[in-house]
Amino acid sequence: MGIFSGFSLIASSIPYIINGVWTTLEIALVSAIIGFVLGVILSLFKIGNIKILAWLSDFYTSIFRGTPLILQLTLVYFATPQLIGYDISAFLAAIITFGFNSGAYMSEIIRSGINAVDKGQFEAAGALGVPYWSMMKDIILPQAIKKILPAMMNEFITLTKESAIVSTIGVLDLMRRAQVVAAENSLYFPPLIVSFAVYYVLVMILTILGRLFERRMSRSD
């Protein structure tokens, strides 16, 4: 059977696969938001002078960086329900795992951004009597985040691609849908290539959007 007749065989399922992009994006987006919020909090703990919080944040980060993501996901989805006595949906398990995991990486990125802000900015804010948290929120973080936009965009793209792992717990994302269609038709190449192409186009679009956004943000420099 030729490749093209293969595609025509699954033609009616192609929209189904492509629509998986919304699930993929939803997981990536929600996880990125959780990851960002967590990342900000953890990074502030890391650079703050409360030793125990700094230590806990470093520990948190090392846990998520030091173990396989797929194992984290499996633990959250299959093991947590046994511990807490409630089932959690695959989608919830996905965004918890990816959000918490991303928080670990994001906190390192944000910390490096904060460290890259001129020390004089802290002093100028301090000398004007600006309280610590206001200084962080209004003066330091906006500058830090501007510096790390490319790294954060990278993190988001990684998240988008890595989210394919959620197919292992049955979330019907781009990857899983391709597998479903493949299994139904016992035909692998066409459906997998469809999701392959969608991932690629998606990442390209995100890359371009990221660049446009960066350019916009750097205008005040």
Partner 1 sequence: MIKVDHLYKSFGNNEVLSDISLEIKKGDVVAIIGPSGSGKSTLLRCINLLELPSKGKIYIDNDDITTFNQRNVIKIREKVGMVFQHFHLFPHKTVMDNLTYAPIKVKQTTKSEAQEKAIKLLNRVGLSDKVDSYPSRLSGGQKQRVAIARALAMDPEYLLFDEPTSALDPEMVKEVLDVMMSLAKQGMTMAVVTHEMGFANKVADKVIFMDHGQILEVASPNEFFNHPETDRAKEFLEKVL
- Closer Cβ to partner 1, 3 or 221, answer by number: 221
Find the part of the chain contacting partner 1 (CB under 8 A) among 5-13, 80-88, 137-145, 202-210.
137-145
CA–CA dist 153, 131 (Å, integer):
30
In this structure, are residues 17 and 177 in contact, taking their beta carbons and an 8 Å threshold? yes
In this structure, are residues 190 and 6 in contact, taking their beta carbons and an 8 Å threshold? yes
**Chain Cα centroid distance, residue 82:** 26
Task: Say whether residue 139 binds partner 1 (CB under 8 A).
Answer: yes
**Chain Cα centroid distance, residue 27:** 8
Find the part of the chain contacting partner 1 (CB under 8 A) among 5-13, 85-93, 139-147, 180-188.
139-147
Q: Contacting partner 1 (CB under 8 A), which of 65, 78, 81, 131? A: 131
Task: Say whether residue 124 binds partner 1 (CB under 8 A).
Answer: yes
- Closer Cβ to partner 1, 67 or 218, answer by number: 218
**To the nearest whole angstrom, how small is the minimum distance from the Cβ of residue 70 to partner 1?**
40
Here's the x/- map for partner 1, 103-122, by CB under 8 A: it reads as: ---------------x-xx-
**Distant-in-sequence, close-in-space partners of 102: CB < 8 Å, separation ≥ 6:** 31, 32, 34, 35, 36, 38, 39, 155, 159
In this structure, are residues 174 and 160 in contact, taking their beta carbons and an 8 Å threshold? no
CA–CA dist 190, 104 (Å, integer):
36
Task: Say whether residue 149 binds partner 1 (CB under 8 A).
Answer: no
CA–CA dist 173, 191 (Å, integer):
13
**To the nearest whole angstrom, how small is the minimum distance from the Cβ of residue 37 to partner 1?**
21
Q: Contacting partner 1 (CB under 8 A), which of 146, 185, 188, 189? A: 146
Residues that bind partner 1 (CB under 8 A): 118, 120-121, 123-131, 134, 138-139, 142-143, 146, 220-221
